Chain A
């Protein structure tokens, strides 16, 4: 090899090294950015909390990778969707079809149960690099094996829908409220709001009450989706209203808690909290209970809005509240993973249960048992005794090591 050839070879080697160095620098920057923003990794990133519905001794749980139906007594799996033949899944579509439609899908939204159907929503990642995630609602009839799906919505479903008058109504991040026929899944009407709809609707008789991030609470005709009235606040609505004596109780992101006439939409009173009201309130015996994101639980006179008591739980509260069946206890889940039982009389903390996760989903009380969903924990669901907070069971069950 001549000195000239050696020089040429060195130069070409040098060029390759520089090129790979600059590409390396750019790739490093990209990886850093992707990693820092929390998008790294092949696994589905958790972007929301999960939901739970309890109907007739059965628990319908959105369990991230699937919707699972459990016996309330012992957490035994009755069926799941999508699921293997062994788990009672696969009765809806062929395994091949199912795998295609639900590959990588996540289930966050609390299932709606009614009219013989279990209605769930999934979000599956895009199948192409530049495509969009697929947001699908599945209507499943466990008795007949009939099923339908609806995939017209362009945004993610954040909270569950409600069933009433043969319709399933749900809000979507594409700003729309969708009403589908429960039996066929056919679209009956769409109502467009000015922003994302992340609240579960409340259906009472022929009216749908639903809040939107556009600062409005809408009362819509169930049959047609036409607006009966709308109420405007200074912040977004993301919680489901509670109804008591013709009054809707709901909080907003303007730190205000509102009492609104359910018939006319006029404001009856408002109460100022310390931060956003997100989770749904409960109303019992002339008192309305609500918690704000600052972690303060309020008991307010339902007629006047006067404060009865307040209790700080020292951790942000996103979830809605749950009430014991006899009305003596109020259950509050918070971001630090603690579930507290407060006396409805004075807000005194009667017991609390800690966990290694976060409690961001609204707990459910049924027949003396409290069911709580955990996020970022190996235990997804716990059943606790209402009186003392002791475990009835946990799901998935703890496997004893030999």
Chain B
């Protein structure tokens, strides 16, 4: 279904593998960087919104105090405020929806490049872009990394492979915490509750994926989360400098 994404991704992975010393992990890391670069405008806009959300917290708190006994009015006023500032309050869910097709494509791309079943390999054999330099003969890619088989899900025989889902959970939780628009703990609006739920649901979902699919996908998740966190700090630093300038 998502092979229109998977085949190009798999071929780009082959290209990186060829130029990065035949290292599968380096190829996945390079592909992750590329994907993140492509979705950078979206990420930046999301981070900008998060920042705006943070800035409008005092106003939100004021509204909560004002309409403490009228929940319906509070929701209306909050929505009005969001619209005035131009914020999508469901910002926490948006990255998930946009990333889903990319995940689907990537899961299949890893399955094709590091296949654990012959039917996957046979299917991909007819979709290798032979005009790319050095890709002929590369598939299947070297699948062993630190004694783990990157083409297989974590398993008890390679017990240390379970460290990857744990890392995925930790980095994804950190990413969610930093990037989801902050809401006061006493904010009981639908949006605030939804965002709070997503902060824990997303990492849990990630851990589910990583236990089911090849460990190569875990590498993508971890690197991707680290990039987002780094991006967040860079954007914040940039904003702080801008604020300092405008204040002075």
Interface residues of A (CB under 8 A from B): 7, 10-11, 14-15, 18-19, 21-23, 25-26, 29-30, 32-34, 36-37, 39, 46-49, 130-132, 154, 156, 158, 173, 175, 194-196, 198, 213, 215, 233-236, 252-255, 275-276, 278, 293-294, 316, 318, 335, 360
Contact = CB atoms under 8 A, between A and B. Distances in A.
A293 B126 contact: yes
Interface in B182-232: 188, 190, 193-194, 197-198, 201-202, 204-205, 208-209, 211-213
B71 A11 contact: yes
Nearest to A32: B100
B137 A253 contact: yes
A26 B201 contact: yes
Interface stretch (B36-44, B76-84, B115-123, B238-246): B115-123
A255 B137 contact: yes
Interface string B165-197: 000000000000000000000001010011001
Contacts of B211: 130
A132 B157 contact: yes
15 contacts: A14-B188, A18-B193, A22-B201, A26-B202, A26-B205, A37-B111, A39-B212, A47-B119, A47-B120, A132-B155, A194-B142, A234-B136, A255-B136, A276-B125, A278-B125
Contact of A254 (B96, B111, B137, B143): B137
Given A23-B197, A233-B137, A253-B139, 18 more contacts: A15-B193, A19-B193, A25-B93, A32-B100, A33-B103, A33-B107, A37-B111, A37-B213, A39-B212, A131-B156, A156-B117, A195-B140, A195-B143, A196-B143, A234-B137, A255-B136, A276-B125, A278-B122
B146 interface: no
Main secondary structure of the interface of B (DSSP, over half): helix
A36 B122 contact: no
B208 A19 contact: no
Given A30-B208, A33-B209, A130 B140 contact: no
Nearest to A128: B156
A398 B173 CA distance: 57
B118 A47 contact: yes
B145 interface: no
Contacts of B116: 156, 173
Contacts of A293: 122, 125-126
Nearest to B111: A37
A200 to B, nearest CB: 13
Given A11-B188, A33-B100, A130-B211, A18 B197 contact: yes
B2 A36 contact: yes
Given A48-B118, A213-B140, A278-B122, A36 B1 contact: yes
Given A132-B157, A252-B137, A316-B126, A14 B190 contact: yes
A38 B193 CA distance: 33
A158 B208 CA distance: 28
B212 A34 contact: yes
B67 interface: no
Contacts of A252: 137
B160 interface: no
A39 to B, nearest CB: 7
Nearest to A35: B1
Contacts of B120: 47
B140 A49 contact: no
Nearest to A46: B119
B122 A19 contact: no
Nearest to B158: A154
B64 interface: no
A37 B197 contact: no
Given A18-B193, A29-B100, A48 B125 contact: no
B140 A47 contact: no
A15 B189 CA distance: 9
A30 B116 CA distance: 22
Contacts of B156: 130-132
Contact of A23 (B117, B188, B201, B202): B201
A235 B135 CA distance: 10
B101 to A, nearest CB: 9
B233 interface: no
Contacts of A14: 188, 190
A7 B71 contact: yes
A348 to B, nearest CB: 26
Nearest to A22: B197
Contacts of A195: 140, 142-143
Nearest to B70: A7
A132 B208 CA distance: 16
B137 A26 contact: no
A316 B104 contact: no
B108 interface: yes
A274 to B, nearest CB: 9
